[in-house]
Structure 1
Amino acid sequence: MSRLIVISNRVSVPKAAGAAGAQGGLAVALNSALREHRGIWFGWSGQEVEEFTGHLDMQRNQGVTTATIDLEPQDIEEYYNGYANRTLWPLFHYRIDLTEYDRNFGEGYERVNARFADSVRPLIEPDDLVWVHDYHLLPLGSLLRAKGVKNRMGLFLHTPWPPTRLLVSLPFHERLVESMLAYNVIGFQTEEWLNSFLHYLEKEMGLPIGEDGHVEYQGRKILCKAFPIGIDFKEFTEGANSDEAKEAHDKLKASVRGRKMLIGVDRLDYSKGLGERFESFGRFLADNPEQASQVVLLQIAPPSRGDVASYQQIREDLERKTGHINGAYADVAFVPIRYVNRGYPRRQLAGFYRAAEVGLVTPLRDGMNLVAKEYIAAQDPEDPGVLILSQFAGSALQLKDALQVNPHSIEHVSETIKLALAMPLEERRRRHEALYDSVRDTDVVYWREEFVRALFGEEATPDTRESLQIDQTA
Structure 2
Amino acid sequence: MSRLIVISNRVQAPTENETGGAQGGLAVALNAALAEGEGIWFGWSGDTGEDNSLRFATYGGVTSAVMDLSEQDVDEYYNGYANRTLWPLFHFRLGLTEFERDFAGGYERVNRVFAERIRPHIAEDDLVWVHDYHMIPLGWLLRQQGVTNRIGFFLHIPWPPTRLLVALPDHRRLVESMFAYDVVGFQTEEWLESFCHYVTHEMGGVLGDDDTVTVGGRTIRAIACPIGIETKDFVEMANGPEARAAQMRQLESAVGRSLIVGVDRLDYSKGLPERFAGYERFLQNYPDRQALVYLLQIAPPSRSAVQSYRDIRANLEQMSGRINGAYADTDWVPIRYVNRGYPRATLAGIYRAARIGLVTPLRDGMNLVAKEYVAAQSPHDPGVLILSRFAGAAAQLDQALLVNPYSAEDVSDAIDKALRMPKAERIERWQAMFDNVTAEDVIWWRRRFLDVLTA
Mark yes or no: TM-score above 0.5: yes
- AA matched with 1:226: A
Match of 1:200 in 2: 198
Deviates more, 1:8-17 or 1:293-302: 8-17
Counterpart CA distance in 2 for 1:392 and 1:21 is 31
User: Structure 1 residue 24: deviation in Å?
Assistant: 1.0
State the secondary structure of the residue aligned to 2:259: strand
Match of 1:305 in 2: 303
Contact 1:18 1:239 in 2 (8 A): no
Deviations, residues 321-376 of structure 1 (Å, cap 9, x unaligned): 10011001112222110000011111110000000000000000000000000000
1:354-373 to structure 2, matched below 5 A, reads: 354-373=352-371
Counterpart CA distance in 1 for 2:115 and 2:330 is 59
Counterpart CA distance in 1 for 2:23 and 2:107 is 26
Question: Residue 174 in 1 paired to residue 172 in 2?
Answer: yes
Match of 2:120 in 1: 122
Deviations, residues 424-470 of structure 1 (Å, cap 9, x unaligned): 0010011011011010000000000000011102xxxxxxxxxxxxx
Counterpart CA distance in 1 for 2:20 and 2:247 is 17
User: Structure 1 residue 20: deviation in Å?
Assistant: 12
Match of 1:346 in 2: 344
User: Structure 1 residue 238: deviation in Å?
Assistant: 1.1
Q: Structure 1: any 5+ residue segments left out of the alignment?
A: 458-474
Match of 2:42 in 1: 42
Match of 2:27 in 1: 27
Question: Residue 444 in 1 paired to residue 442 in 2?
Answer: yes
State the secondary structure of the residue aligned to 2:180: coil
Contact 1:16 1:22 in 2 (8 A): no
User: Structure 1 residue 251: deviation in Å?
Assistant: 0.4
Counterpart CA distance in 2 for 1:407 and 1:369 is 14
Match of 1:468 in 2: none
Match of 2:416 in 1: 418
Contact 1:18 1:347 in 2 (8 A): no
Contact 2:281 2:412 in 1 (8 A): yes
Match of 1:188 in 2: 186
1:73-472 to structure 2, matched below 5 A, reads: 73-457=71-455
- AA matched with 1:10: R
State the secondary structure of the residue aligned to 1:297: strand
Q: Structure 2: any 5+ residue segments left out of the alignment?
A: none
Match of 1:472 in 2: none
Counterpart CA distance in 1 for 2:272 and 2:168 is 27
CA spacing shift, 1:280–1:26, aligned 2, 3 Å: same
CA spacing shift, 1:264–1:430, aligned 2, 3 Å: same
Contact 1:18 1:345 in 2 (8 A): no
- AA matched with 1:74: Q
State the secondary structure of the residue aligned to 1:161: coil
Counterpart CA distance in 1 for 2:381 and 2:109 is 53
User: Structure 1 residue 422: deviation in Å?
Assistant: 0.6
Counterpart CA distance in 1 for 2:412 and 2:17 is 37
Contact 1:19 1:345 in 2 (8 A): no
User: Structure 1 residue 216: deviation in Å?
Assistant: 2.5
CA spacing shift, 1:118–1:29, aligned 2, 3 Å: same
User: Structure 1 residue 173: deviation in Å?
Assistant: 0.4
Contact 1:362 1:407 in 2 (8 A): yes
Match of 1:461 in 2: none
Question: Residue 59 in 1 paired to residue 57 in 2?
Answer: yes
State the secondary structure of the residue aligned to 1:46: strand
Counterpart CA distance in 1 for 2:314 and 2:251 is 29
So what's the TM-score if we normalise by structure 1? 0.94
Contact 1:56 1:68 in 2 (8 A): yes
User: Structure 1 residue 23: deviation in Å?
Assistant: 3.3
CA spacing shift, 1:243–1:17, aligned 2, 3 Å: farther
- Paired residues in the alignment total 455
Deviations, residues 142-166 of structure 1 (Å, cap 9, x unaligned): 0000111000000000000000000
State the secondary structure of the residue aligned to 1:292: helix
Counterpart CA distance in 2 for 1:217 and 1:185 is 14
Counterpart CA distance in 2 for 1:11 and 1:40 is 10
Match of 2:11 in 1: 11
Counterpart CA distance in 2 for 1:126 and 1:217 is 27
Deviates more, 1:185-194 or 1:7-16: 7-16
Counterpart CA distance in 2 for 1:28 and 1:398 is 21
State the secondary structure of the residue aligned to 2:261: strand
Counterpart CA distance in 2 for 1:147 and 1:83 is 23
Deviates more, 1:129-138 or 1:327-336: 327-336
Match of 1:462 in 2: none
State the secondary structure of the residue aligned to 2:291: coil
Deviates more, 1:406-415 or 1:17-26: 17-26
RMSD between aligned residues: 1.5
Contact 1:322 1:337 in 2 (8 A): yes
Counterpart CA distance in 2 for 1:23 and 1:34 is 15
- AA matched with 1:7: I
State the secondary structure of the residue aligned to 1:42: strand
State the secondary structure of the residue aligned to 1:416: helix
Contact 2:381 2:427 in 1 (8 A): yes
Counterpart CA distance in 2 for 1:144 and 1:19 is 30
Contact 1:22 1:346 in 2 (8 A): no
Contact 2:14 2:20 in 1 (8 A): no
- AA matched with 1:176: L
Contact 2:19 2:59 in 1 (8 A): no
User: Structure 1 residue 37: deviation in Å?
Assistant: 1.2
